[in-house]
Amino acid sequence: MDCDTYHELIVADIDGTLSPRERKSVRMHLDACPVCRNARVLEAEFAAHLRRGPRLVEAPQAVQDRLRAAIGSATRAPPPRRRR
Amino acid sequence: MAVDGDLKARFEASALPLMHHVYTAAFYLTRNRSEAEDLLQETYLRAYRFFHRFTPGTNVKAWLLTILYNVLRNRYRHRLAEQRRFDFAPVAQAYERIAASRDSGGGFGDAVFRLLVDGEIERALVNLPHDFRAVVLLVDVHELSYAEAAAALGCPVGTIRSRLSRARRLLQVALHDYAREHGLLNI
């Protein structure tokens, strides 16, 4: 595996999604590769930064109201067979 | 009908409060407010229509974002295909230089991230190629698991990993450039 592939595992490791076997493989690579060791530190710092932002964007109030009204009046069930 | 009324109440209680998540994703994916509003509306109406297929106890947010992505893909197939061609090699090299420069006092990292103005990360995200933007949104902004993100985008988990790794490098290279231009680096 090259450093490019290890970068995927480094990011996944920081996100806590690696299997124990993969984690071991990353650790062994990090012991041998100073560039990836730096990348590991950088990625951990960046992941923390990403968690703080970007912020969610609110839909305009008018759009929210229109949508609520549309859901409120929508029929979800199949159309009735005859009119009441 | 009582059953349908119950479903409506559950939809209103569980799905409607997540509107800002769906809108945020729609906004970042289309980079356009009116298209985002349109996508939000279509996603919710479709979600409501198919709410009986939603499995209670699973992640409503992931389910809504999956629908959003399907709506988006149906609408913008051509535009998305055009954006697929992207040469990552120069980015990988730039990132490697940045990572290597930590040892020689390049100074890029946490201290710089803290100095970045709020809007800068958003701007970098908006400028990512579509496929990378989608993964960062789902995983980093909406906090879906890799598996949920893979399901939403209809791709293997391995693709999520590889796109996320590239997207985070792209973002950092963009932020590094910004930091250098604004004198935030001590190189």
CA separation for the pair B125, B147 (Å, rounded): 22
Inside any domain, residue A12? yes
Instruction: Give the pLDDT of residue B48.
Output: 95
Compare all CA atoms of chain A with the CA of B45 and give the residue at the minimum distance: A71
* Closest Cβ opposite residue A59 in set B23, B92, B165: B23
- Which pLDDT score, from 0 to 100, does residue B47 have? 96
Structure confidence at residue A83 as a pLDDT band (50, 70, 90): low
Query: Rounded CA gap, B24 and A47, in Å?
Result: 20
Chain A residues whose beta carbon lies within 8 Å of the beta carbon of residue B40: 59, 63, 67
Q: What is the pLDDT of residue A78?
A: 55
| A38 located within any domain | yes
Spell out the alpha helix ranges (H) of chain B: 2-14, 19-30, 33-49, 60-82, 89-101, 110-115, 118-126, 130-136, 146-153, 157-181
* pLDDT of res. B3: 58
B80–chain A Cβ distance below 8 A for any pair: no
Whole-number pLDDT of residue B113: 86
In a domain, A71, yes or no: no
Q: Find the domain containing A26 and state its range.
A: 1-53
pLDDT in tens, A41-71: 999 999 998 887 778 889 999 999 999 999 8
Interface residues from chain A to B (CB-CB < 8 Å): 3-4, 7-12, 15, 17, 34-36, 38-39, 41-43, 45-51, 53-60, 63-64, 66-68, 70-71, 74-77
Could A59 and B162 be called an inter-chain contact, meaning their C-beta atoms sit closer than 8 Å? no
Let me know if residue A21 belongs to a domain.
yes
What average pLDDT does the segment A21-46 reach?
95
What was the pLDDT predicted at A77?
Answer: 54
Q: What is the mean pLDDT of residues B143-149?
A: 96
The structural domain count of chain A equals 1
- Residue B76: pLDDT band (50, 70, 90) is confident
> Which is nearest to B23 in space by CA: A55, A79, A48?
A55
Percentage of chain B exceeding pLDDT 90: 68
Asked whether residue A72 is assigned to any structural domain, the reply reads no
- Alpha carbon of A11: minimum distance to chain B alpha carbons (Å): 6
Q: Which of A14, A15, A46, A61 to mutate to test the interface with B (most CBs of B within 10 A)?
A: A46
Shortest CA gap A12–chain B (Å): 7
B76 Cβ under 8 Å from any chain A Cβ: no
DSSP code per residue over B4-34: HHHHHHHHHHHTGGGHHHHHHHHHHHH--HH
Asked, for residue A5, whether it belongs to a domain, the answer is: yes
Predicted local confidence at residue B152, as pLDDT: 96
Mean pLDDT, rounded, for B177-182: 89
- Cα–Cα distance for residue pair B187/B183, rounded to 1 Å: 9
Query: Contact A23/A13 with Cβ under 8 angstroms?
Result: yes
- Domains in chain B and their CATH numbers? 2-82 (1.10.1740.10), 89-181 (1.10.10.10)
DSSP state of B140: I
- Asked if residue A48 is part of any domain, the answer here is yes
Q: Which residues of B touch A15 (CB under 8 A)?
A: 139, 146, 164
Residues 24-43 of B with CB under 8 A from A: 24, 27-28, 36-37, 40-41
Q: Is residue A39 part of a domain?
A: yes
Q: Mean of the per-residue pLDDT values for chain B?
A: 90
Which chain A residue's Cα is nearest to B172?
A46
- Partners of B7 on chain A (C-beta within 8 Å) are 76
> How close is the nearest chain B Cα to the Cα of A79, in Å?
12
